[in-house]
Amino acid sequence: MMYKFMEMPDRTEITHSEMRENGSVKVCVERPVEGGFKTAYWELPSYRSFDVEGFI
């Protein structure tokens, strides 16, 4: 389950998971664009990114 942290004026939304058993948290940044979303996920505290679509 992801929990909404904040929404920016350009409708970019930041969400996060609960702390997992290994002590990490999953963070998602998502922005609506024509035909879908730009999406990027990070795992904290390692800062590992994954499933990045539309963001450079």
Does 56 score more than 90 pLDDT? Answer: no
Which conformational region is residue 18 in: left (phi greater than 0), alpha (psi within -120 to 50 degrees), or beta?
Answer: beta
55 compared with 41, residue with greater pLDDT: 41
Q: What is the domain range of residue 15? A: 3-53
Measure Cα distances from 30 to 21, 22, 23, 27, 48 in Å: 25, 24, 23, 10, 17
> What torsion, rounded to 10 degrees, do the Cα atoms 34, 40, 5, 11 define?
-20
Per-residue model confidence (pLDDT) at position 18: 97
Report pLDDT digits (tens) over 12-35: 999 999 999 999 999 999 999 999
Task: Kindly report the pTM of this predicted structure.
Answer: 0.85
Does 55 score more than 90 pLDDT? Answer: no
Count of structural domains, the chain: 1
Q: For the purposes of burial, counting CB atoms within 10 Å of the CB of 30, is it exposed (0-12), middle (13-18) or buried (19 or more)?
A: buried
